[in-house]
C-alpha cells in the first residue's frame, strides 16, 4: 500500500471514529452535563481544521456569534482564528485564544494513541463584562459603513448579551474538558474494535474468530475462509464494516489485550508480546508505539504510577 493510500485510509478511519464518538451516549451525556454546569457551548469537531462551522448545536452559543452568522459567510478573521487554534492544539495540546472581538475560544484534542480523532471545542465568552466602548472598537473592525443602523443595533444587543466568565473559572472549565478528552480517548479505543451491531453476519463471525485466536497467526486466507467469503470479497466487506484493514484490526485487538496484561507488574513485556500473538518483541514494540503513541514499557510505568497516586 502506498504512503498516500495509507494516509487516506487512516483519515477515513479517524473520520468514521469521530462520528461514532459524537453519536455515543458517553459524549452526549457529558455534553449535556457540561452545558448545564458551565453555561458554555460544547462540540466535538473533526480533526480537519476547517470542520468548525456553526451547526444546529446552538445551546449556550454566543448571540453575537449567531448574529454574525459564522460559517461559509464568516469573516476571514474568524476563519483564521479557528485554524490557528486547531493548529496550536494539535501540537501543544489543550489551547485557548481570543477572536477579533475578544471572545475566548478553546480546543482540547481527543486522541486515539498518537492520532487525533477530534477536538472538544468551547468558549464564545468574554473574560470581562462587555460594554458599549468595547463594542464600538469591534464595530470599527467589522466596518461601520457595511452595516445599516438596524443591523448595528442588533449586533450591539447581541454583543452586550454575550456571557462573561472570569479567567480563573474558565481555566477550570477547560481542565474539566481535558479529563473528559482522556475518557473519550479510552472510549475511542473500545469503539475502534467493538462491533457496531449493523454489520454482515460473515464479518461478525470473522471478528469472533479473530478474538478467539489472537495468540495464533491470523492470515487473510484463514479468516476469510472462516467468514465463508473469498479473500477479495472479505477485504472489501471487512473494510466497509470496520473502517480498518484486517491487519490493522488484528493489531488493535492484540494491543488492547496486551494493555490488560501489562498492568500486571510481574509480567515481562516480551512474555506479553508473544502471548498476544506477536512473533517478535520488536514487532510488538513498533505496533504498540504506532497505536498507543508510546512504548509498552513507558505506557505501563505511567499507568502503574497513576494507580499508586
Same domain? For 172 and 272 the reply is no
pTM: 0.65
Q: Are residues 171 and 299 in the same domain?
A: no
Query: Are residue 14 and residue 83 in the same domain, yes or no?
Result: yes
Q: Which residues pair with 107 in a beta bridge?
A: 95, 121
208 and 293 assigned to the same domain: yes
CATH number for the domain that contains residue 168:
3.30.450
Domain of 166? 3-191
Could you say which of 141, 165, 191 is where a domain stops? 191
Cell numbers found for residue 92: 501543544
- Residue 235 covered by a domain: yes
Residue 17 forms part of a structural domain: yes
Flag whether pLDDT at 4 surpasses 60. no
Beta strand 43-45 with 104-112: parallel, antiparallel or unpaired? unpaired
Mean pLDDT in residue range 75-91: 81
Structural domains in the chain (count): 2
Q: Does residue 61 share a domain with residue 172?
A: yes
Write down the pLDDT at residue 177.
93
β pairing state of 43-45 and 95-98: unpaired
3-state DSSP: the chain helix, strand, coil percent, rounded to 5?
60, 10, 30
Instruction: Tell me if 25 is assigned to some domain.
Output: yes
Q: What is the CATH number of the domain that holds 247?
A: 1.10.10.60
Same domain, 9 and 46: yes
Q: What percent of the chain has pLDDT over 90?
A: 31
At 307 the pLDDT is 72
What pLDDT does residue 241 have?
80
Could you say which of 142, 164, 191 is where a domain stops? 191
**Pair 122, 224 in one domain:** no
Last residue of a domain, one of 167, 191, 215: 191
Do 138 and 247 share a domain, yes or no?
no
- Tell me whether residue 265 is in a domain: yes
Residue 213 exposed, middle or buried by CB count within 10 Å (0-12, 13-18, 19+): middle
Q: What is the pLDDT at residue 240?
A: 80
Asked if pLDDT for residue 15 goes beyond 80, the answer is: no
| Whether the Cβ atoms of residue 81 and residue 105 lie closer than 8 Å to each other | yes
Amino acid at each position: 500500500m502506498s504512503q498516500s493510500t495509507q494516509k487516506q485510509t487512516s483519515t477515513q478511519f479517524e473520520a468514521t471514529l469521530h462520528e461514532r464518538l459524537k453519536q455515543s451516549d458517553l459524549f452526549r451525556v457529558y455534553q449535556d452535563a457540561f452545558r448545564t454546569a458551565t453555561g458554555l457551548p460544547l462540540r466535538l469537531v473533526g480533526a480537519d481544521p476547517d470542520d468548525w462551522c456553526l451547526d444546529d448545536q446552538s445551546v449556550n452559543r454566543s448571540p453575537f456569534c449567531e448574529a454574525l452568522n459564522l460559517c461559509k459567510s464568516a469573516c476571514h478573521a474568524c476563519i483564521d482564528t479557528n485554524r490557528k487554534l486547531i493548529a496550536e492544539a494539535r501540537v501543544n495540546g489543550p489551547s485557548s485564544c481570543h477572536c477579533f472581538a475578544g471572545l475566548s475560544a478553546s480546543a482540547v484534542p481527543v486522541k486515539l494513541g498518537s492520532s487525533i480523532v477530534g477536538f472538544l471545542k468551547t468558549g464564545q465568552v468574554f473574560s470581562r463584562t462587555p460594554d458599549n466602548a468595547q463594542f464600538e472598537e469591534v464595530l470599527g473592525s467589522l466596518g461601520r459603513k457595511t452595516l445599516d443602523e438596524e443591523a448595528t443595533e442588533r449586533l450591539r444587543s447581541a454583543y452586550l448579551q454575550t456571557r462573561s466568565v472570569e479567567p480563573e473559572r474558565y481555566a477550570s472549565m477547560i481542565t474539566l474538558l481535558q479529563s473528559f478528552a482522556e475518557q473519550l480517548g479510552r472510549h475511542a479505543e473500545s469503539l475502534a474494535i467493538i462491533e457496531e451491531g449493523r454489520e454482515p453476519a460473515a464479518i461478525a463471525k470473522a471478528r469472533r474468530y479473530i478474538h478467539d485466536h489472537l495468540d495464533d497467526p491470523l492470515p487473510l486466507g484463514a479468516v476469510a475462509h472462516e467468514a465463508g467469503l473469498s479473500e477479495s470479497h472479505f477485504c472489501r466487506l471487512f473494510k466497509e464494516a470496520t473502517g480498518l484493514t484486517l491487519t490493522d484490526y488484528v493489531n488493535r485487538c492484540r494491543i488492547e489485550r496486551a494493555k490488560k496484561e501489562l498492568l500486571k507488574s510481574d509480567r515481562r513485556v516480551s512474555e506479553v508480546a508473544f502471548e498476544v500473538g506477536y512473533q517478535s518483541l520488536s514487532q510488538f514494540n513498533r505496533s504498540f508505539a504506532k497505536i498507543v503513541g508510546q512504548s509498552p514499557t513507558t505506557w505501563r510505568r505511567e499507568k502503574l504510577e497513576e494507580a499508586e497516586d
